[in-house]
Amino acid sequence: MSDQTNRQAYWKANLKLVAFCLSIWFVVSYLFGIILVDQLNTIRLGGYKLGFWFAQQGSMYIFVVLIFFYANRIGKIDKQFNVHED
Amino acid sequence: MDLKTMTFLVVGATFALYIGIAIWARASTTKEFYVAGTGVHPIANGMATAADWMSAASFISMAGLIAFLGYDASVYLMGWTGGYVLLALLLAPYLRKFGKFTVSEFIGERYYSKAARMVAVLCLIVASITYVIGQMKGVGVAFGRFLEVPLHTGVAVGMAIVFIYAVMGGMKGITYTQIAQYCVLIFAYTVPAIFITLNLTGVPIPQIGLGSTMADGSGVALLDKLDMVVTDLGFAAFTAQKWSTLNMVLLTLSLMIGTAGLPHVIMRFFTVPKVADARTSAGWALIFIAILYTTAPAVGAMARLNLMHTIQTGEVGSVDGNMVYADRPDWFKNWEITGLLKFEDKNGDGRVQYYNDKNKDFAAKAASFGWKGNEMVKVDRDIMVLANPEIANLPNWVIALVAAGGLAAALSTAAGLLLAIATAVSHDVIKGMISPDISEKKELLASRLSMAGAILVAGYLGMNPPGFAAQVVALAFGLAASSIFPALMMGIFNKNMDNIGAIAGMLTGLFSTLIYIFWFKGWFFIPGTAMAANTPDNWFMGISPEAFGAVGAMLNFLVAYLVSKVTPPPPEHIQHLVENIRVPIGAGKAADH
């Protein structure tokens, strides 16, 4: 595989991973926290209503996990396509 | 020891610490002034970024907004944290690979155009100055309270201190100082939160306490209790949604992409040792930020509950159910001095009635109790965090600590922003465009002078702020979101984006947002010059000025895309540059000056 096509394949793999992470990002904040908040609020998590919990707690925990998940996976993809730093 | 002495002692000690560190790590060369050196570990960098990022808006203002807006304030929580995901996934690693100092340098080179760089500098300065205004208001509130002076005097004192502090440091000094400031501010935020959560629920962790039942044996969940207490007085329920869903979505989006477009935050990722570190640095920063941000909802909800209980001491409508004004606690008197808390005895009964007199049904009921309108005529939301430990009767040292934490938050952000402004003026405008062979000494002088200028403008506007600290800051994010973020993102993800498209996009985004904001907030925020009242009925499709940045960003993307279709594509070497920044391999050290 030429260097050029290898890099293109790497970029594609990266975009796929980014799209996956951003869809989770969208679901936990915009969908669960705002758009579906009334529906989720009928479920309770201790003293929290679930939609409220996503908006003021849960989305933030998931954001943190997402960043480290991305960093970890893209690090492996870097190595797989041999484009990692020395 | 009385509260005032204690506050002076604690604030004085923390200031001595910061200034000591700033002197110890004094920047002597321009390079040190701009970047902290590439040896900063990702965790340390994350901590400094968190302090840089969490400003007076986060520390002082946000929990206050949550206290009064309830669920709707979630937009600030999600918006100011979710941006880090965008930063880590879409921008930071590529900008690090590119390896220059400033955002405008990237835009100038990627779009092979001095004009593009100039436009980026303009966007950056407008956004940063708006941001500093919010900080100044926060500093004014904090100083006003603990020196017991009016807001204006508080802002003036703050201006002087920020000036001394920021001009001395530079990035190297600032990075180490900011780590110290992070420790002070997070300690100051969580300690009272833990005390108050323990008092109310018996649980020592605020994030869990907020979802627990009251410790009074009633078995009622705290949030349900709060909903009851506020609706009993005619206010909207704490956990209920008041804003339109569209406005909430756009405001959240605006804050998220604004976060990812703010120059003083992005600058931090230019200087980490490796591309991989740029990715994880954003994660570390977000962990340190989330500690405060997940505590804030507990602080806000519990502050509201305690405030309501302090004033409404008994049954709503009973003769002796309200606090007697003459017996008001000390914190009440102290905040009255600042002018941020005002009481008016409308029915002349010597007691304080605090309720929602705009709610017609409840106002009628209140009239039957002999109440003649809400008597808490002013409760500035920005005082809630600082007043919170006093309302909850916590020991003096905790109250003093909170004042120190609020100042640390405001100062660390103001310093970082001023540095970004100074860099833009001295490095991008003067060295990059006007006189490329300026001496190091003169460049440093220019950057210090521009800091001073920025402080004066921001201080003046901080005395006449266009909103609560967090709202002013939200405007700054709208501006960064609409102008800088799209240009950066297209620069990386769209190889065919050309110079004319990018410039047209940035200008469209910046000016559409700026005009929309000025339309409702007054031209250049000067009071009385607004074109229309700032109410939801007048807003375009119900979109508030704070939320318009997301629309501006969409316009930016759209205009840039359309223009790039009809103008020549970027030259070959630029397309190679883009291909090159997309892969981590071959990243050198962060570029030398």
The series of mean pLDDT values per 10 residues for chain B, 593 residues long, is 84 84 66 56 83 83 91 94 94 88 87 90 85 80 78 83 69 72 90 92 94 88 93 92 92 93 82 84 93 95 92 87 90 85 90 91 90 89 85 85 84 79 82 79 82 83 70 82 93 93 94 90 77 83 89 96 94 92 78 42
User: Which stretches within B369-522 are classed as H helix?
Assistant: 384-391, 396-423, 440-463, 469-493, 499-521
The verdict on residue A14 lying in a domain is yes
Give the number of A-B residue pairs with CB atoms closer than 8 Å.
135
Taking CA atoms, what residue in B is nearest to A31? B249
- As a whole number of angstroms, the distance between CA A39 and CA A44 comes to 11
Structural domain includes residue A19:
yes
Would you call A18 an interface residue with chain B, using a CB distance cutoff of 8 Å? Answer: yes
- Identify all chain B residues contacting A63, using CB atoms and an 8 Å cutoff: 81-82, 84-85, 286, 290
Q: Does residue B156 belong to any structural domain of this protein?
A: yes
**AA letter at B20:** G
Helical axes B42-53 vs B151-201, angle rounded to 10°: 120
Q: What is the DSSP letter of B537?
A: T
Q: Which of A6, A14, A56, A79 to mutate to test the interface with B (most CBs of B within 10 A)?
A: A56
Is residue A86, in this structure, part of any structural domain at all? Answer: no
Residue A45 sits at φ, ψ, to 5 deg, of -120, 90
φ, ψ of residue B350 in degrees (nearest 5):
75, 5
Split into its structural domains, chain B has a count of: 1
pLDDT (0 to 100) of residue A52 = 95
CB within 8 Å of chain A, chain B residues 64-83: 66, 71, 74, 77-78, 81-82
CB within 8 Å: B71 and A85: no
> pLDDT value at position B445?
83
CA distances from residue B502 to B103, B108, B115, B195, B582 in whole angstroms, order as listed: 14, 11, 10, 51, 19
Domain annotation covers residue B506: yes
Q: How far is B397 from chain A (nearest CA, A)?
A: 29
Give the closest of B241, B274, B293 to A60, CB-based: B293
> What's the confidence (pLDDT) of residue B31?
57
A30 touches B at CB < 8 Å: yes
| Inside any domain, residue B370 | no
> Is the Cβ pair A53, B71 closer than 8 Å?
no
Q: Is residue B289 a contact partner of residue B53, using CB atoms and an 8 Å limit?
A: yes
Q: Which of A67, A69, A76 to mutate to test the interface with B (most CBs of B within 10 A)?
A: A67
In the DSSP assignment, the letter for residue B427 is I
Residue B559 in contact with residue B570, Cβ under 8 Å?
no
Does residue A3 belong to the interface with chain B, where contact is any CB pair within 8 Å?
A: no
Domain-located, residue B149: yes
| CATH number of the domain encompassing residue B516 | 1.20.1730.10
Asked whether the beta carbons of residue B587 and residue A46 sit closer than 8 angstroms, the reply is no
Structure-block tokens of residue B141: 């509130």
Structural domain total, chain A: 1
Q: Which domain holds residue B131?
A: 3-307+386-581
Mean pLDDT for A47-58 is 94
The pLDDT of residue B466 is 65
Q: Searching chain A, which residue's CA lies closest to the CA of residue B219?
A: A47
Q: Residue B255: what pLDDT? A: 92
Does B77 sit within 8 Å of A29, measured CB to CB? no
Are the CB atoms for B209 and B298 separated by under 8 Å?
yes
d(CA B150, CA B212): 39
Distance of residue A34 Cα from the nearest chain B Cα, in angstroms: 7
**HSE, side-chain direction, 13 A CA sphere, residue B582:** 25
* pLDDT at residue A62, as a whole number: 97
Residue B455 confidence (pLDDT): 83
Which of B119, B147, B79, B150 has its CA nearest to residue B509? B119
Query: How far is B109 from B117, CA to CA, in rounded Å?
Result: 8
Provide the terminal-to-terminal Cα distance of chain B, rounded to the nearest Å: 51
Q: Which chain B residues touch A7 with a CB distance below 8 Å? A: 579, 582-583
DSSP 8-state assignment for residue B218:
T
> Where in the sequence is the domain holding A18, given as residue range(s)?
3-80
Per-window interface: B 230-289 vs A, CB < 8 A: 239, 241, 245, 248-249, 252-253, 274-276, 279-280, 282-283, 286-287
Residue matched to tokens 């009925």: B537
A72 in any annotated domain: yes
Region A49-65: mean pLDDT is 96
Is B379 within the bounds of a domain?
no
Contact criterion met (CB < 8 Å) for B584 and A55: no
* Structure letter (DSSP) for residue B341: E
Tokens of B380: 């500035």
- Give pLDDT, residue A19: 97
Q: In whole angstroms, what is the distance from residue B367 CA to residue B365 CA? A: 5
Does residue B361 belong to any structural domain of this protein? no
Q: Is residue B342 part of a domain?
A: no
